[in-house]
Chains A and B, each alone.
Chain A
Amino acid sequence: MDLDDAQIMQRLQAGQFELFEQLVRRYRVALFRAAWSKLGDPTWAEDVVQETFLAVFAARHTFKPDYSFRTWLWTILLNLCSRQWKRRENRPREFLFSKLNAGAGAGPSFPEPSHQETGLSALLWTERREQLLEALSRLPEAQADALRLRFFGELKFSEIALAMGSSVSAAKVRVKHGLQTLAQVFRGQEGESR
């Protein structure tokens, strides 16, 4: 039977460290996606995600079931992403999605799919992902973070507010304005392509 996050954390605090892998499996992809979109570099993103999970493990004794685990997890990720960005702010924020499978040393790469149909879907998905992440990078950071938490993290607005230190209404406004801007960008791109 799958345990919920609070139950896993409770057992983790009691010493059942092997359960931590469930949390990693549950959140790793979403965290990586958000970190990559925020930092623009998949290697940095992977480092930040690693550090986030390590920090959660090291600070496991501070977790309280009064708030949701994922709110805590995403709050830590946002903080560490900001820290990582400040550390390397001399580098331009450029997306390296196009360097996927470009060769050794290009950063994280996904192995080539063996099935042709899966490969086509993957290519389409990659293209759309690149488009989305590039659009997110153009938004004001608060709006982009709110969108990442809402859509990548699937957090409720109350959780987004807690993670970002804002009010619930501010969180909703950020998501709404972010979506409006993204929609305008995509409409503009569709108009150009016709």
Chain B
Amino acid sequence: MNCDEAFDHMTDTNLRHRPALKQHVERCPRCRQMQETLQPALALFSRDAEGDDVVSSYPNSIHTSSGNYSNTSFPDSVWSQEFLSPEAVEAAEHAAMRLATGSSVRSPRFWQFSACALRYAAVLVVGAVIGWGVWTPHGPAADLPSGAASPVAGAAACTRNPEHSTKASQQRRDSKSVVLSCVACHLASR
């Protein structure tokens, strides 16, 4: 028996008196310490379970707000679903679906938290990319006239100088011609 199994046995009212657990606890100081620490709580749960014998010795009737009935049968009005809400049925069906797939070991809150965290992460990444795009120095490319294509990596530096770009900005520019000239230049430099 390992320590994990020992904890399973300790917390199982049907297994806690097994000899295997006793032997393990005698050999393992860590589990012995844990058993001593948890003993008051374990004893209380154990005594509580024993009390079920006392409860079962009572007559089989419970008086509740919904009427008196035996503890093993429900009155006909109950089966007519007066006390059953659609939400309860939905909860039962949802639980059955979740258990059958076994996929969602995590709680719905976990997935909600994960989705929220992913959204924030995505916003941060996009913001970082935009910031990098805005603030990264471009060198000669910084002098490119507006509308020009970004220089291809490894291509020769654009021949358009600041003077030209200034002149160009003063004229009424045809964006198409600017783009075409830049593309032609950069393609030629390949």
Binding site for B on A (CB under 8 A): 21, 24-25, 28-29, 42-43, 46-47, 50-56, 58-59, 62-64, 66-67, 71-72, 75-76, 79-80, 83, 107-111, 113, 118, 121-122, 125, 128-129, 131-132, 147, 150-151, 154, 157, 161-162, 164-167, 172, 175-176, 178-180, 182-183, 186-187, 190
Contact = CB atoms under 8 A, between A and B. Distances in A.
Given A66-B100, A165-B104, A50 B13 contact: no
Interface stretch (B80-88, B143-151, B154-162): B80-88
Interface in B58-80: 58-59, 61-66, 71-74, 78-79
Give the interface residue-count category, chain B: 35 or more
B91 A55 contact: yes
A21 B73 contact: yes
B107 A175 contact: no
A28 B72 contact: yes
Nearest to B64: A46
| B7, B84, B96: residue with the most chain A Cβ atoms closer than 10 Å | B96
Given A58-B89, A72-B99, A151 B13 contact: yes
B92 A55 contact: yes
A172 B85 CA distance: 33
Interface string B16-56: 00000000000000000000011111101101111110111
